[in-house]
Structure 1
Amino acid sequence: MNWEAPKRPLDHTESTLVKAVLDDTFPIGSKLPGERKLAEMLGVTRPTLREALRRLERDGWFTVNHGKATVVNDYWKDGRMNVLSNLVQHAESVPPNFVANLLQIRADMAPSYTREAARHHPDEMTALFQQGINLPDAVDAFAEFDWHLHRTLTIASENPIYTLIMNGFTDFYENMAQLYFLSEPARRRSRAFYQTMHDLIQQQDLVKVETAVRTMMQESIDLWPGRGLT
């Protein structure tokens, strides 16, 4: 692993340690080198290293045992919300099935926040889906709109927790969308979905709105490039 001297020591230290866990330089359950050695490896001072470890311990990456070696936690079991942001920032090193799990979370949430958005703001949501119907057949257009669509739906649901979760995945979501919409069938299916949603929201058939979203979210998982979902 390439340990480069940082311009922003604290940020560099946190980022490098997270990447070292993700790429198994420091596997789950292992112990970190001693403070002096690790600080030298990172090219930072020991106080900077201590602060980085304190922050990462708070997020669930490590257990710091004063006077003993720091242990790498199982971040899937011990991690807190910030772990998701860390994973998104290290997309090249995310564990297998991370994308599949992320898409499944969206599939679980989207029916609820779309139903509530349609309930609270039917006219605005109808107009929103009309924008999707009118999109040019271009990858960038679909990728940008799909992010805008889901984020707007979370806001319109009037449950801000959905939006906070969505915001944590902004860059990663947009990158995934670029890959997904390379497929012409994916773009065609999404346009048909936008039309269906436009019509159902106009009719205020909220049960069918929820069902249609759930079906589409599952189809998007099935259409993911290569079905590798990694």
Structure 2
Amino acid sequence: MKERSSDLIARDITRSILSAELKIQEPLQSERDLAAHYKVGRPTIREALLRLEQDGWITSRKGMPSVVNDYWKQGNLMTIVTILQHEDEIPDEFIVYMLELRVSITPAYFRDALENNKLKVISLFAPYEDIDNTTVTYAEFDWYIQHGVAMLSPNPIYLLILNSFKDVYIRMAEKYFSDSTHRAASRDYYETLLKWILDGDLQLAEQTVHDMMEASIRLWKQKMNGGNA
């Protein structure tokens, strides 16, 4: 599907911000000058600027050119998604940030889902025995479980957060599961988690989720350090 001119312009301005061609707190060109530069009408420029403001990249000022935000402090979820869309490979440090986020939210939506839809959570593990020991398969299964459990939580915010990161999550998971020891750790985790769920011990199930999220951070940091703890 062909992208709209406003989307292409917004992407180009974002690229200029990320490359520091446009500095934080620096004003953009006027709408008229931007329209001349991109050879489009001013309504197209306004649409692009609105998109950039909604995604946390700029702040509009009445009667004055928009100004570039400090996107790490003034951005939102879409800012992060856009940053990673501009990366050919997800930085190792960012995977740590995402894994730390999982420690905060994953046990919570697992607990909510188990308290409200235990049998449906169990059914999500049906394909588990048949998953191949490959990077892509583990990445896809991990997303399938996380997304499915978040969907079964009565709090829709968890699912909205995950949906915002779907493409990024898969790319991150493929990089994480490229290490066979990480796949082995996840297989042990799935087996232990399913055991506690089937036994009806939801507190231990939640603790197992939390412990695995913490273990994922340790494993990834070891990989970043060349295998050293």
**Counterpart amino acid of residue 9 in structure 2:** T
Which residue number in structure 1 is paired with residue 21 of structure 2?
25
The structural deviation recorded for 1:198 is: 0.6
Residues 100-179 of structure 1 mapped to structure 2, 5 A cutoff: 100-179=96-175
In 1, the alpha carbon distance for the partners of 2:33 and 2:132 equals 56
Ranked by relative contact order (alpha carbons within 8 Å, sequence separation 6 or more), the top structure is 1
Q: Which runs of 5+ in 1 are unaligned?
A: 1-5
The structural deviation recorded for 1:50 is: 2.1
Of residues 144-153 and 63-72 in structure 1, the stretch that sits farther from structure 2 once superposed is 63-72
Alignment deviations for residues 118-165 of structure 1 (CA, whole Å, 9 cap, x no partner): 222223323333533442211121111000010001011222111111
Calculate percent identity across the aligned residue pairs: 36
- The answer on 1:99 being equivalent to 2:95 is yes
In 2, the alpha carbon distance for the partners of 1:21 and 1:152 equals 36
The structural deviation recorded for 1:171 is: 0.7
Which residue number in structure 2 is paired with residue 198 of structure 1?
194
Q: What secondary structure sits across from 2:61 in the alignment?
A: coil
The structural deviation recorded for 1:88 is: 4.1
- The answer on 1:181 being equivalent to 2:180 is no
Change (3 A) 1:183 1:177: same
Alignment deviations for residues 35-87 of structure 1 (CA, whole Å, 9 cap, x no partner): 34433443433331122112322333212224433210112222234324433
The structural deviation recorded for 1:95 is: 8.1
Q: What secondary structure sits across from 2:65 in the alignment?
A: coil
Which residue number in structure 2 is paired with residue 227 of structure 1?
224
Q: Which runs of 5+ in 2 are unaligned?
A: none
Q: 1:213 aligns with which of 209, 217, 229?
A: 209
Change (3 A) 1:189 1:89: same
TM-score (norm 1): 0.85
In 2, the alpha carbon distance for the partners of 1:98 and 1:142 equals 20
**Counterpart amino acid of residue 192 in structure 1:** D
- The count of corresponding residues between Structure 1 and Structure 2 is 223
The structural deviation recorded for 1:100 is: 2.4
Residues 7-46 of structure 1 mapped to structure 2, 5 A cutoff: 8-46=4-42
In 1, the alpha carbon distance for the partners of 2:26 and 2:90 equals 19
